[in-house]
A and B are shown apart, each in its own frame.
Chain A
């Protein structure tokens, strides 16, 4: 039997998770709308990472101030899979880093919303990413800076799983281990699909958790679409004192939209107006026309 206090906190968690689920779906639909507008984008990864992004930003895991994006003590979130800018930009706008109306300029001429994020153009972006395998080394540096400055900020890096084929990630992992960076959290969006095909048919990534463990990380695997599980993990960091953390978020590429789910072609598929309408219905989004 749980006491009343626990019941209340469980109830609150469930409510928050439900709200985050809806926010994540709003991010999904926003990203697809942006991709429909630009004719370019990365729908599959946008949809697989939306729940992670929603939880980190809108679930108030990250200590940030959208009104003061350069606040020196902020947590750093580095979007290493920079190609999923549709979901990332939507999340930043929803969090209040810039007006939501700007999302409609995605990839337009001279837009601040380049296909891949540019920290010199958009508040809230910590690193220019796009080429893979850049985020984790930068994250290691930012975590080392916190230590040198005796500051308590944390660094979160979201990588893809195909991205981990880039060797620079493992160079950075070795540094994180050597320096015992327990203020560093790697989140792997394990959707099992890269641009060309399934990861396991391309360059096998399994067993992935033991790889990270062998590189000195404390590792957990969770359902990357379970907001309650994500919230719980993110609020109990580091996973192990003295070690960098790795959270392998098992996800479905194209999650939430039936025609895109688990299909390699939707890595950079562009939805039509008709497909957008189907997506809206499936995601429970009411579209004003």
Chain B
């Protein structure tokens, strides 16, 4: 077992960082886009408030469609709107948006290569105590295997807004995971999102931490605590899950002693799986894959569940140490 020293919070001596619900950034970006581009429209499955679309509906009523509680239909309607030259943003709780309509995702969006943008709200375990029916930890595995469908998991509000703007220019189906769990800003104000690029948030040559979504700020905290014991961790924001930045992953495998991935999703089939698939063929490297280990979560708040599954800065820190011990 690891004999890690107790973690020092990297921000213990600074003022507490301001935390953001990324849905606000998404909603503001969508309204701004609708203002400047007549093709932008929104489709929702009843949950107008959860999807933060009240303002949009009030400002652009003619470009707002509420299909009711009907996700299969919702995805098809999105495909039809795209056929008619619109750029639909189809928004709903990610657990229902993906799972309930998986064949529509495959056929109407992926196979048809429809220019539809899916905004999966409150993904991962953000719904906490509501339980596994409302958790969306399978979505990364499901969506990333569908050809043509891009998968983006923004880390903070700046990246959420930047990815939204990018999605309008990008032609093709895209799944954006819009986090509800409060996160701090990890990007500079002028950050530009590019599909297929993994921003390096921190340089380091000992080990690489790869994370997406809410796990990115935790990976940065882990890198800070590792630095405290003389270990230099590189941190990559793997927000562009698909296409993945293969160059950055292979470079990390070649230039550091191993890779720790962290995602608010099942450990199987998601970011860790995608990285492992690439490395197994091109450059095998020691890895630790942090995620939910193939179980349905017990009852608890979102933060409790992240702690429960070790999806914390401390968990990433310990996984890195464990990996480094093995790869000596």
Contact = CB atoms under 8 A, between A and B. Distances in A.
B81 A142 contact: yes
A137 B65 contact: no
Interface in B31-52: 41
Interface string A154-191: 01000000000001100110110011000000000000
A31 B321 CA distance: 66
Interface residues of B, number: 30
Interface in B48-99: 62-63, 65, 67-68, 70, 72-86, 88
Interface string A216-234: 0000000000000000000
12 contacts: A76-B84, A120-B113, A134-B108, A140-B73, A142-B83, A145-B80, A148-B62, A168-B70, A168-B76, A171-B68, A174-B70, A175-B67
Contact of B75 (A72, A118, A129, A137): A137
Given A76-B83, A138-B108, 20 more contacts: A118-B111, A127-B112, A128-B107, A137-B72, A137-B73, A137-B76, A137-B79, A137-B104, A138-B76, A140-B77, A141-B79, A141-B82, A144-B65, A148-B81, A168-B72, A168-B73, A171-B72, A172-B76, A172-B77, A175-B65
A140 B84 contact: no
Interface of A: 72, 76, 118-120, 126-131, 133-134, 136-149, 151, 153, 155, 167-168, 171-172, 174-175, 178-179
Nearest to B68: A174
B104 A134 contact: yes
Interface of B: 41, 62-63, 65, 67-68, 70, 72-86, 88, 103-104, 107-108, 111-113
Contacts of A128: 107-108, 111-112
Contact of A134 (B63, B84, B107): B107
Contacts of A168: 70, 72-73, 76, 104
Contacts of B81: 141-142, 144-145, 148
B72 A149 contact: no
A52 B1 CA distance: 72
A118 B78 CA distance: 18
A140 to B, nearest CB: 5
B77 A137 contact: yes
A39 to B, nearest CB: 24
A76 B82 CA distance: 12
A201 to B, nearest CB: 26
Contact of A120 (B79, B82, B112): B112
Contacts of B63: 148
A227 B82 CA distance: 33
A72 B39 CA distance: 13
B72 A140 contact: no
B86 A148 contact: yes
B107 A171 contact: no
A137 B80 contact: yes
A134 to B, nearest CB: 6
Contacts of B107: 128-131, 134
Nearest to A82: B107
A171 B75 CA distance: 11
Contacts of A175: 65, 67-68, 70, 73, 77
B83 A127 contact: yes
A136 B104 CA distance: 12
Q: Which 4 A-B pairs have the closest CB atoms?
A: A141-B80, A145-B84, A137-B76, A171-B73
A179 B65 contact: yes
Contacts of A137: 72-77, 79-80, 104, 108
A141 B70 contact: no
A138 B80 CA distance: 4
A75 to B, nearest CB: 11
A137 B65 CA distance: 13
B99 to A, nearest CB: 15
Contacts of B80: 127, 137-145, 155
Contacts of A118: 111
A245 to B, nearest CB: 17
Nearest to B148: A120
A144 B84 contact: yes
A63 to B, nearest CB: 14
B89 to A, nearest CB: 13
B108 A127 contact: yes
Nearest to B116: A141
A138 to B, nearest CB: 4
A138 B72 contact: no
Nearest to A151: B84
B85 A141 contact: no
B67 A127 contact: no
Nearest to B71: A171
Contacts of B62: 147-148
